[in-house]
Amino acid sequence: MRILYFAWLRERVGVAEESLDPPDTVVSVADLARWLAGRDEAHAAAFADPKVVRAALDRRHVKPDTPLDGAREVAFFPPMTGG
Amino acid sequence: MRILYFAWLRERVGVAEESLDPPDTVVSVADLARWLAGRDEAHAAAFADPKVVRAALDRRHVKPDTPLDGAREVAFFPPMTGG
Amino acid sequence: MSAPIPPDGGIFQVRVQAEPFDAAVESARLSTGRTDVGAVVTFTGLCRADAGAAPLTALVLEHYPGMAEEEMARLLAEARSRWPLQGAVIVHRHGRIVPGEPIVLVATASAHRGAAFAAAEFLMDWLKTNAPFWKKEERAAGDRGAPSAGGWVAAKSADDDAAARWTAPDDAR
Amino acid sequence: MSAPIPPDGGIFQVRVQAEPFDAAVESARLSTGRTDVGAVVTFTGLCRADAGAAPLTALVLEHYPGMAEEEMARLLAEARSRWPLQGAVIVHRHGRIVPGEPIVLVATASAHRGAAFAAAEFLMDWLKTNAPFWKKEERAAGDRGAPSAGGWVAAKSADDDAAARWTAPDDAR
């Protein structure tokens, strides 16, 4: 599974992208965020406040309880500030 | 008093502008319209339906009951269709 | 980088002309050389063709010289009193205008998009019902299907409704 | 006089680019050579300067390549499903943008002004909250007064409110 980070999540994790295989217990997007937060201090800092973390599954916005369901690309980022 | 007509009011009256001195009994814009309508058939045709006649006094929109009050320029025209 | 120009230093202009205008030039003027403008909204109204037995060949716009400019200036002043604008331009053409040509332009500039959008829409709505312009249709031979007396376009109640969304800018109407 | 182009023949386009864009060219394309377009609305969002001890020198826009274009296309499709548009263009820049430069353009074309205005405002409101772009502030020496962690601009609740005026385009958020 390809995992992307943007803006300050990217800066805190320290990489823009990583390839990981989460265990079967990781079912939803929120599960994945929690699992990532447990990996090391950098990930923990990125996911410290789940309320300001948004996610996309295969390039579509999703809610935290959305099942990963074989997605190939998961992205985490703060609320958007374009426009 | 300078009286101007626009659009189909101008076409019906037959002139774009005329200079007239209404009698003292003509107090309001509506009085003036009625007085003009009585002048001849052309004016009568222009003012046949008062609901679709708008007026300006010295280049400001006014309601029919507005007193002429020494205005130098009175204009009559249909509802506007610019923009 | 030029310094921000204070809000009062902006361009506020109304114009009535027979010549076509360049919407791009008119709206670019509102932000060029400035760093305090965050949003520019430009509306261009164009003459549309229509189908049928006697298609529209042109609109001929009559206006009330003098009052047209004054009324447009009053509408602009009203918009400025309602929204924090950094610039605004209204250009309205008169005379003969063929399908595809622009008729009217409204451009507004503000720090934020909400004010720029609202002021532009307000100005268009009120221009339609308050600016002394009248459209006459010129149609192909026969003049069949002209919608109203002598080809004059009838005022739309939809325009009155649009203008009524905003409370009256003065108590005249 | 060219014949009216059927509504499906219009230009509908989204673009993400580092280069500045020409708002005039982008919006002119929507009506040029056509006689069925009655209204063109163009919104340009620009980078503003600010005052203070450490003035803004630039915004650096990060985006999610691929998803940005896809999300903008989804928003455009949603706008087309809501209003009878004859054309629409969205251009969003990424990279370093200095005060006075344009960041985003939305242009819409329709037969009537109501649809063109509403669609342009809808697209801007939803772009702000849904298009995957993030602004980071670059400030003069000292970086004092940066509003949030590491200079990243915080999302405004006003933007969420603006987007919420329209019902959600999908059930994802």
Per the structure, the count of domains in chain B is: 1
The CATH number of the domain holding residue B44 is 3.10.20.30
Print the domain residue range for D13: 2-164
Asked whether residue C78 is assigned to any structural domain, the reply reads yes
From the list D64, D150, D155, which residue is nearest A81 (CB)? D155
Per-residue pLDDT of chain D (173 residues; tens, 9 = 90+): 344 445 457 999 999 999 999 998 999 999 999 999 999 999 999 999 987 778 899 999 999 999 999 999 999 999 999 999 999 999 999 999 999 999 999 999 999 999 999 999 999 999 999 999 999 999 986 554 444 457 999 998 888 888 888 876 554 44
Chains that touch C (3 or more CB pairs under 8 A): B, D
**Looking at residues C80-90, what average pLDDT do you find?**
98
Asked whether residue B12 is assigned to any structural domain, the reply reads yes
The CATH number of the domain holding residue D20 is 3.90.1170.40
Nearest CA in chain C to D102: C38
From the list A11, A59, A83, which residue is nearest D67 (CB)? A59
Nearest CA in chain D to A66: D172
Asked whether residue D88 is assigned to any structural domain, the reply reads yes
From the list C124, C134, C159, which residue is nearest B6 (CB)? C134
Token readout for C143 is 């003049």
For residues D74 and D51, what is the distance between their CA atoms, to the nearest angstrom? 37
SS (H, E, C) A31-72: HHHHHHHCCCHHHHHHCCCHHHCEEEECCEEECCCCECCCCC
8 Å CB contact of B81 and C154: yes
pLDDT of the residue at D142:
55
Asked whether residue A54 is assigned to any structural domain, the reply reads yes
CA trace torsion D50, D54, D59, D62 (10° rounding): -140
Asked whether residue B83 is assigned to any structural domain, the reply reads no
Asked whether residue A21 is assigned to any structural domain, the reply reads yes
| DSSP state string for B61-81 | EE-TT-B-TT-SEEEEEPSP-
Per the structure, the count of domains in chain C is: 1
How many Cβ atoms are within 10 Å of B49's Cβ, its own excluded? Answer: 9
Asked whether residue B82 is assigned to any structural domain, the reply reads no
Residues in chain C with CB shorter than 8 Å from the CB of D117 are 43, 117, 120-121, 124
Asked whether residue C170 is assigned to any structural domain, the reply reads no
8 Å CB contact of D124 and A83: yes
8 Å CB contact of B83 and C159: yes
C125 contacts C159 by C-beta, under 8 angstroms? yes
pLDDT of the residue at A67:
98
Size of interface C-D (CB pairs under 8 A): 123
Asked whether residue D170 is assigned to any structural domain, the reply reads no
pTM of the entire predicted model: 0.91
Between chain D and chain C, are at least 3 CB pairs below 8 A?
Answer: yes
- Per DSSP, the three-state class of D115 is helix
**Looking at residues C112-135, what average pLDDT do you find?**
97
8 Å CB contact of C133 and B62: no
Print the domain residue range for B35: 2-77
Asked whether residue A82 is assigned to any structural domain, the reply reads no
C112 contacts C86 by C-beta, under 8 angstroms? no
Asked whether residue C172 is assigned to any structural domain, the reply reads no
Taking 70 as the pLDDT cut, the residues of chain A under it are none
Asked whether residue C171 is assigned to any structural domain, the reply reads no
